[in-house]
Structure 1
Amino acid sequence: MPEIQVKKVVDLKKGSYVWYNNEAWEVLEMETAKTGKHGSAKARIVIRSIISGKTTELVKPTQDPIEVPIINKIRGQVIAKVSDIQYTVMNLDTYETFDAKILDDDMKGRIQEGQKVLVWDIGEKIIVQGFKE
């Protein structure tokens, strides 16, 4: 599980991330509406899971707290291909090795041994970008 920070719902923006159902989710849409004379403002948030790609909608008061994951970005180099979606990566700063997955269908098959990559640690390590030498 990544490090979690608590923010108010009103502080979220499109493209930010939330921690929901023990997963990191990206905010796709966010709109707020005042509900009436004595009601509090509500936010409608459309989010997509980074892991599974599912989308869902949340409706919350804008002043409510919401958990936001702190995503650690790791510069790495691919050491070995374990499977079509799993690779062994070496951290270029600490030289430790770890396994990371590729979830983006466009990247599958394009990552090769020796290639430098950007890995997000969100409780699970995910390769999000590959770099050409």
Structure 2
Amino acid sequence: YPMQCSALRKNGHVVLKGRPCKIVEMSTSKTGKHGHAKVHLVGIDLFTNKKYEDICPSTHNMAVPVVLRHDYQLVNIEDGYLVLMDDSGDTREDLKCPDNELGKEIEDKQQREDFICVTVLKAMGEETPIGIKSAKD
């Protein structure tokens, strides 16, 4: 959805160079002789952690991605894919286990514990696991 540049905030989300990003830095420059105040945005891609920058007039609209978080119970890991179950009992097997620290942590905990909650971040048609928590009763 569109949002005026001046209304964006640090730690909020914005689309930079066509990618959903979390705003990590933001500064506004004063109006010059000609034109508008400019907003300098620095964002980190939610999925690739790449850094993107953009400068836009403060009165212009920027696209803001709809970012959703969803918790799933980890059932298993099969062929590098996570088998996840949501609250209603539906399972999905379309998310790859990330090959980073989080992925290793998911695999380690899956071997040691029986109940793990995986938080999945979804934005602009992409999804990725971003965190886990143990849910020992």
Alignment TM class, shorter chain as reference: 0.7 to 0.9
Corresponding residue number in structure 1 for 2:133: 131
Kept in 2: contact 1:101–1:125 (CA 8 A): no
Q: Helix, strand or coil: the match of 2:32?
A: coil
Corresponding residue number in structure 2 for 1:119: 120
Corresponding residue number in structure 2 for 1:43: 39
Aligned-pair distance for 1:98? Answer: 4.3
Bigger share in helix: 2
Kept in 1: contact 2:82–2:96 (CA 8 A): yes
Aligned-pair distance for 1:103? Answer: 5.1
Kept in 2: contact 1:90–1:98 (CA 8 A): no
Matched AA of 1:130? I
Corresponding residue number in structure 1 for 2:11: 15
Supply the distance in 2 between the matched residues of 1:101 and 1:21 (Cα, whole angstroms): 25
Corresponding residue number in structure 1 for 2:22: 26
Aligned-pair distance for 1:106? Answer: 2.8
Give ranges in structure 2 of 5+ residues lacking alignment: none
Q: Helix, strand or coil: the match of 2:103?
A: coil
Identical residues among aligned pairs (%): 24
Q: Give the structure with higher Rg (CA).
A: 2
Q: C-alpha offsets along residues 47-72 of structure 1, whole Å, 9 cap, x if unaligned?
A: 11122221121000011111111112
Corresponding residue number in structure 1 for 2:104: 109
Supply the distance in 2 between the matched residues of 1:131 and 1:49 (Cα, whole angstroms): 23
Paired residues in the alignment total 128
Matched AA of 2:8? L
- Return closer, same or farther for 1:82/1:18 CA change in 2, 3 Å cut-off: farther
- Return closer, same or farther for 1:68/1:101 CA change in 2, 3 Å cut-off: farther
Kept in 1: contact 2:83–2:91 (CA 8 A): no
Q: TM-score, normalised by structure 1?
A: 0.82
Q: TM-score, normalised by structure 2?
A: 0.79
